[in-house]
Amino acid sequence: MDGLTPVEQRAPGRWQIGTVTQVRRETPRAKSFRIELPMWMPHLPGQHYDVRLTAPDGYRAQRSYSVASSPLDQGEIELTIDRLADGEVSPYFHDVVVEGDRVEVRGPFASYFVWRGEAPALLVGGGSGVVPLMAMLRHRRRTMPELRMRLVYSVRTAADVIYADELADDALVTYTREPPEGWAGHTGRIDAAILSEAGRDAAIAFVCGSNGFVEAAATFLLATGFGAGRIRTERFGPTG
Amino acid sequence: MTDFISRGFRARRRTPAELADRLPPGQYAEPGFPVLTAGPTPDIPAEQWGLRIDGMVGHEREWTCDEFQRLPFETVPCDIHCVTKWSKLGTSFGGVSLDTLLEGVEPAGDYATAYSYGGYTTNLALTDLTGGKAWVVTEHEGEPLPREHGGPARLLVPRLYFWKSAKWVAGLRVMDHDEPGFWEQNGYHNRGDPWKEERYWTD
């Protein structure tokens, strides 16, 4: 072993203090935070970080947030956080955190709801469930733009669309409450027709959203012939 | 441990003192019962559900749904802790103790893999399953266990993070070695003790 440099344990297990370099408002409820990390390591699209807040009296709160950025963004991650009114971590990020603030995080974690670039994929997101899917879409655009990947994105109104200026031909938006004026595309909840059209040629499906949304989407996918083993889901319940 | 303080952070959701010491580190009290599943929800009609204990055992056992319902039934008051940070305090489940199920089985190994309809697995040491620490439950708070929470039956191991409490449980395979299960192969801790905050494999 002589001559080898001793290796200190790095990410993902250790807490580290990152610096917020950019705050971007996406929608009235969602903001994206770019965080520069001293112990950055590349994540797999779909992975999450844990965030820990500490009050002066030692009280702590932890939550998990999906990474929205591509791992090609070296040295930093982007977390998009939905503001939950009765939460305690998401309101802090929305109401307190500004550029230059330091935040404590560790990650990246979990390796099942991840796209490794291995196959054409169908992405199905409801509301802020689009966040981990955006990491996959962004990464695919930068690494293998010829590979088929479609995002089906269900939102209530035009004001609720996260990453609105980045959605291109590879994204299919459906408005469940109120479409924008003159909208000629899909409206209403996702259904088997939308999913089988968008999921043509897909070898794997990633579905993320509320439990009700995920349950509905998974049931439609099973009905269109997608095998259960090819459907990966991530559900968020009440958290914040 | 760091001495880092989050600028401008004040607790908004502090748990009442009488419950605070029941919350493991990094957890918060959640009145609801969130659903977390890695794939579609399996649909197993209760009358078709059955349970096996197999692997390295002196005597394999198998129960049909009817046979299982005739076993001694216990109500289990407990707190449950999900690795995604929520805890549900003061809930209860109803089912059959693993001590009852393992009677006469004569396990020849110290480990077990719980396996589920739908393909989910999780690994446990037998010492975490015996001695009044684990149950196969068919009821939650006096009602049949909902399908989205693992109905007709799930494992219940309240002392460990809740991914160890396999939903739609089909059986337990006793083994002479420890073999990581589904989440244990996907970044989560091999044992998952909430009081030691064993969330991820690096913890």
Task: Tell me the pTM.
Answer: 0.94
H or E segment to which residue A197 belongs: helix A192-198
Q: Work out the average pLDDT over A132-141.
A: 97
User: Fold for domain A121-236?
Assistant: Rossmann fold (3.40.50)
CATH 3.90.420.10 is right for the domain spanning B50-196:
yes
Domain coordinates in residue numbering, chain A: 16-109, 121-236
User: Mean pLDDT across chain B, nearest whole number?
Assistant: 95
How does pLDDT run across A173-229, given as a tens digit for each residue? 999 999 999 999 999 999 999 999 999 999 999 999 999 999 999 999 999 999 999
CA distance linking residue A230 with residue A199, whole number of Å = 12
Chain A interface mutation, best of B5, B6, B35, B44, highest count of A Cβ atoms under 10 Å:
B6
Confidence of residue A3 (pLDDT cuts 50, 70, 90): low
Superfamily of domain A16-109: Translation factors (2.40.30.10)
> Closest-CA residue in chain B for A205?
B39
B183, two tokens: 């989440």
Task: Look at residues B53, B49, B37, B46 and name the one whose alpha carbon lies nearest to residue B129.
Answer: B53
| B-chain residues near A96 (CB < 8 A) | 7-9
User: Mean pLDDT across chain A, nearest whole number?
Assistant: 93
Burial class (CB in 10 A: 0-12, 13-18, 19+), B165: buried
Bond into A108 cis (ω within 30): yes
CA distance linking residue B156 with residue B149, whole number of Å = 11
How does pLDDT run across A56-105, given as a tens digit for each residue? 988 999 999 999 999 999 999 999 999 998 889 999 999 999 999 999 99
Q: State the complex-level ipTM.
A: 0.92
- Asked if A237 lies within 8 A of B118 by C-beta distance, the reply is no
How does pLDDT run across B151-186, given as a tens digit for each residue? 999 999 999 999 999 999 999 999 999 999 999 999
Q: Longest C-alpha distance within chain B, in Å?
A: 61
Q: Work out the average pLDDT over A119-132.
A: 97
B184 min Cα distance to partner chain A (Å):
10
H or E segment to which residue A156 belongs: strand A149-157
| B-chain residues near A238 (CB < 8 A) | 30, 32, 34, 86
CB–CB of B115/B171 below 8 Å? yes
